[in-house]
Amino acid sequence: MSSPLIQAVDWGFRYFDREEYALRHLNLEIEAQEKVLLLGASGSGKSTLLHALAGLLSANSLGEEEGKLLINGLHPLDTQTDVGIVFQDPTTSLVMSRIGDEVAFGLENMGIPKDVIWPRVNAALSEVGLTYPISHYTSALSGGEQQRLVVADLLAAMPSIWLLDEPTANLDPLGARSVIETMFHLHQKTNATVLLIEHRLTELVKLADKVIVLLDKGESVLSGHPEEVFVKHGNFLRKSGIFLPDELVERKRPISFGEATCLEARQISAKHPGQSRMAVSEISLQIKSHHVLSVMGNNGSGKTTLALVLASLLKPTHGQVEFIGVKNGESYFSWRAKELVQHVGMVFQEPEHQFLTSKVIKELLILPKRLKMKPDTAKQKADELLARLGLTHLADCNPFTLSGGEKRRLSVAAALMADPEVLILDEPTFGQDANTFYELVALLSEKTDAGQAVVLITHDVELTSILADRVVSLSKGIIVGENNLDLFVAKRSELNEKFNYGIEKGQTNV
C-alpha cells in the first residue's frame, strides 16, 4: 500500500509567545488529488496547519514542533516547491509592483530559466482572467483582481498541493464571486491536491470531496465525505461553532423603527485619508436609538470613510454632523477623545491599530480607568464581556497574537466598556465562526433593545438580514438605496444583480 501524500502523526505546534499548543496530537491523512475542506471553530488551529504544510513555521522558527508532519514522507521545509499557498489578505501577499514581475518572482526563486518564465507568467495570468499588460501596477487592481493575481502566482509555480486560507474572506461580494468563478474554472483542469479553509460555507464547498474537521486543538479529527459528515454530525458540528452549508439563519429580533435620533449627518462630503478624490458626497443620515442601521456597498463605495466621519475621526470637507443631546458648545469634530468614547464607540476594520496595551484584560480596563470608573465594577463588566465573546481563556495573552476573529471581538468588547450611545462596527463578522457570529449578534441585539444605536458597515448579507432594521446602500460615495429591512429582503434578488450582494447559502429565513 502506498503511503498518503500528507500525513500528520501525533503532530503538534506551539508558538513561542503562547503557553498552550495551537495544535497537539494531530493525526490525519490526505491522499494525492483529494480536494479537502478543512473546518474548525475560530482559533482551532486551521491556519497553523496550513502554514506548517507550507513550510512557513519551521522556516521562521516561530515556535516548537512535536511529532511528525510529512509531505511525501518529507518534512514540509524540504517540499516547499510542491506547495503553494493563498492567504486571506491579498494586499500583504503581493511582493512586486507590477503584475508580470509579481508572478515571475516565485519562478525566479525556483531558479527557472528566463525563457521559460515569461510564457508561464502569461499563461497563469490568462488562466485567472487578468488581461492587463504585464507592466500594469498591482496597486491599481481591485481586491478581487489582486487575489486572482495571488492565485496566478500559485499556478505559475505549478505546485502539486494548493493551500487556500479563506481566499474570499477579505473581499467584497463582487471580488469574492470572481475568485470563486476562477477556482471553479481551475478545479476542472487540475490534478493538484487542494486544502481549503472557509468559515462561511460558500459555493467553494462544492469543490470538496472530503471534509476534515479539527476538534479540541487537533486532539480529535472528524473526516469523511462532505454529505456524510454534515448529515451524520450536523448537530455536533453546529454546537462546535461550525457553519453548516445551507444553514437557515433565523432572525430573532423584531424589526424596530427606532426612537430618538442621537446622531445626525447633514449633506456630508469627505475624502478618504490620503486621497484627493471625494469618497462620499452629500450624504444625510439619521442614527437612532433602539435601532440598527446597516451600510452596505462594495469596496471603494465610501463605507469606511462614512463610518470615520460618523465616529468623529475624520472631518468632512462639507456638511455637518451633530450629536443630539450633548451640549458642550463645541463642534462634534473638536470633541476631546475622552468625551467622545463615552458617546460613540468605533470598531475598525483593522482592529490591531486600536490596541493600546500588551494584555487582553488590560485592553478592557484602560478606558474605565481613564474615565474613573470604580475598579470592581469595571473588572466585573470586563469579565462578563470576555466570557460572552469567548475570550476568557485569552485574558492574559497579548492582543496582537490573537486570531483575526478574536481581535475583532476584543475590539467590540473594548468599545462596549464605556457604554456608548452609538456603536459603529466596520465588518464585525470577518473571521467569526458560527458560535461567535451568533453571540455577537445576540450581544448587539441586547444592546439595541437597551437603547443603543448600532451602525454596521458590512458586505455581510446574513448579518444585515438578522440584525439590521434599515439598510443604506452606497455606491461610489452616494446613497443609491435606502430601505427598511422588509423591503431589503423583498428586493434582494434585484439588489443581488445590481450590486452583486451574492447570497451564498441559499434562502435565508427572515
Which spans of this chain sit near another protein (rule: CB under 8 A)?
A: 54-56, 59-60, 80-81, 84-85, 87, 92-98, 101, 104-114, 117-118, 121, 137, 139-140, 153, 157, 273-274, 308, 311-314, 336-338, 340-341, 345-346, 348, 350, 352-354, 356, 366-367, 370-371, 400, 414-415, 418
Question: How far apart are alpha carbons 302 and 99 in whole angstroms?
Answer: 26
Tally: H helices and E strands in the chain: 16, 18
DSSP labels for 236-257? HHHHTTPPPTTPPPPP-SPP--
Nearest CB to another protein, comparing residues 140 and 487: 140
Q: Are β-strands 161-165 and 83-86 bridged in parallel, bridged antiparallel, or unpaired?
A: parallel
Instruction: State the nearest-atom distance from the C-beta of 111 to another protein, in Å.
Output: 4
Grid look-up 499588460 returns 133
Instruction: State the nearest-atom distance from the C-beta of 157 to another protein, in Å.
Output: 7
103 burial via Cβ count (<10 Å: 0-12, 13-18, 19+): buried
Nearest CB to another protein, comparing residues 256 and 349: 349
Instruction: State the nearest-atom distance from the C-beta of 101 to another protein, in Å.
Output: 6
Grid look-up 482551532 returns 44
Instruction: State the nearest-atom distance from the C-beta of 347 to another protein, in Å.
Output: 8
Three-state secondary-structure class, residue 6: strand
Nearest CB to another protein, comparing residues 88 and 508: 88
Nearest CB to another protein, comparing residues 196 and 485: 196
Instruction: State the nearest-atom distance from the C-beta of 210 to another protein, in Å.
Output: 24
* Cell matching residue 460: 455581510
Instruction: State the nearest-atom distance from the C-beta of 212 to another protein, in Å.
Output: 22
Cα end-to-end span (Å), the chain? 52
Question: What are the distances in angstroms from CA 33 to CA 174, 194, 500?
Answer: 29, 7, 32
Nearest CB to another protein, comparing residues 181 and 350: 350
Q: Are β-strands 63-71 and 318-323 bridged in parallel, bridged antiparallel, or unpaired?
A: unpaired
Q: Which residues, at least 6 apart from 63, have a Cβ–Cβ distance to it below 8 Å?
A: 13, 14, 15, 16, 18, 22, 57
Nearest CB to another protein, comparing residues 346 and 454: 346
Question: How far apart are alpha carbons 295 and 303 in whole angstroms?
Answer: 7
Instruction: State the nearest-atom distance from the C-beta of 206 to another protein, in Å.
Output: 27
Nearest CB to another protein, comparing residues 150 and 213: 150
Report whether 117 contacts 197 (CB < 8 A).
no
Of 461, 460, 459, 458, nearest to 488 by C-alpha is 461
Nearest CB to another protein, comparing residues 196 and 495: 196
Instruction: State the nearest-atom distance from the C-beta of 232 to another protein, in Å.
Output: 35
Strands (DSSP E) found in 338-416: 344-347
Instruction: State the nearest-atom distance from the C-beta of 132 to another protein, in Å.
Output: 11
Of 85, 479, 126, nearest to 294 by C-alpha is 479
Nearest CB to another protein, comparing residues 333 and 438: 333
